[in-house]
Structure formats: C-alpha cells, structure tokens
Structure 1
Amino acid sequence: MSRTVFCKKLQKEAEGLSFKPYPGELGEKIYNEISQEAWTQWLNHQTMLINEKRLSLMDPQAQSYLAEQMEMYLFGGDYEKPEGYVPEEDK
C-alpha cells in the first residue's frame, strides 16, 4: 500500500515517495513532505538545469548548486529556471 503525504510543493494530499531520495536530514524531510509527483517534477527540472548549464555531476560545486536548487524548488524559494523556459501550463 502506498503512503500519502501532504505535499509542501503541490499543497495537496498525494502519493508519497517509497524511499528517501537524498541522504541526511534533507532526505528525511523530502521523504516526509514531498510527493512522488513533485519529486518527478524536480527530476525533470534538474535535468533541464544540468543540460542548460552543462553541469558535470562529478564537480562538487555542481553538486552543491543542484542540492541548493532542489531545496528551493521543493520547499519554496527563488529557484533558477533555464533561460527562455516556459512551463507547459503557461503556454
């Protein structure tokens, strides 16, 4: 049976994650407060950031940047959007 959480990103009850997707306290917070739907949205957004900024996941600075962006994206904050990007719902 799947877990249900009140998703901080989507502001609604939704199916929770089946595992902690990130280590430490932040991973625990994501597991408890972010839905599968919002996590999938973040993964898509992260992919755009990696491609647009040509980030290397081997670079510790890129890893720190993505962790910072992830927290802002999921929990409210001024996260970066790829230049010229228009979300589907805004088209």
Structure 2
Amino acid sequence: MDRRRIFCIKLDKEAYALNYRPYPGELGERIYNQISEQAWQLWLQYQTMLINEYRLNLIDPDARCFLEKEMKKFLFGISKKSPERD
C-alpha cells in the first residue's frame, strides 16, 4: 500500500501525510490536507512545551483556545516569536 504524500506547507516540501484527521472540523481537514506527519510531530512537541511552560489546565476553555491559536500560528503562520498569553 502506497502512503499518501502531500506538499507540507509547514516544512515547505513534499512529505508523508497524516493517516487521520488529528483535529475536528474544518481546521482538522486543513491539517490533514496540508500538514505532514513530521510537521504534526513537531507541533505535538511544541504543544507539550507550551502546556508545561504556561502550566495550562486543559479543562480550562481559555487554555484550549490559546493552544488552538498557537497551533494555527505554528502550522500555518510565519511567526517565530514566543507566544504571549493573556
């Protein structure tokens, strides 16, 4: 079975695609179609760092909103700046 490949906009190169939609809704569809496995793993590592450094409580809707914004910036944005939390 051939693995699906995509042009990953995060890595700016062709790479192996995710095998599943890692996030619900339209954003999950966009990630599935435009973000590679490798870039998704980079996000998961960065997300873990954010959760630990900001001591985020994932039950808190504000923390989840913060992570979603950071995920969009990390995967689709160009900002290399450290995130600022309200």
Instruction: Determine if the TM-score, normalized by the shorter chain, exceeds 0.5.
Output: yes
- CA distance, structure 2, for counterparts of residue 81 and residue 63 of structure 1: 17
- CA distance, structure 1, for counterparts of residue 35 and residue 43 of structure 2: 10
CA apart distance, 1:79: 5.8
The residue that corresponds to 2:25 in the other structure is 24
- Runs (4 or more) in structure 1 with deviation over 6 Å come to none
State percent identity of aligned pairs: 55
The residue that corresponds to 1:12 in the other structure is 13
The residue that corresponds to 1:73 in the other structure is 74
- Per-residue CA deviations over 1:20-69 (Å, capped at 9, x if unaligned) read 00000000000000000000000000000000000011000000000000
Secondary structure at the aligned position of 2:6 is classed as strand
The residue that corresponds to 1:88 in the other structure is none
Secondary structure at the aligned position of 2:22 is classed as coil
Unaligned runs of 5+ in 1: 83-91
2:4 alignment partner AA: R
Unaligned runs of 5+ in 2: none
The residue that corresponds to 1:85 in the other structure is none
Secondary structure at the aligned position of 1:49 is classed as helix
Conserved? CA contact 1:69–1:80, under 8 Å: no
Taking structure 2 as the reference length, the TM-score comes to: 0.90
Aligned residues: 82
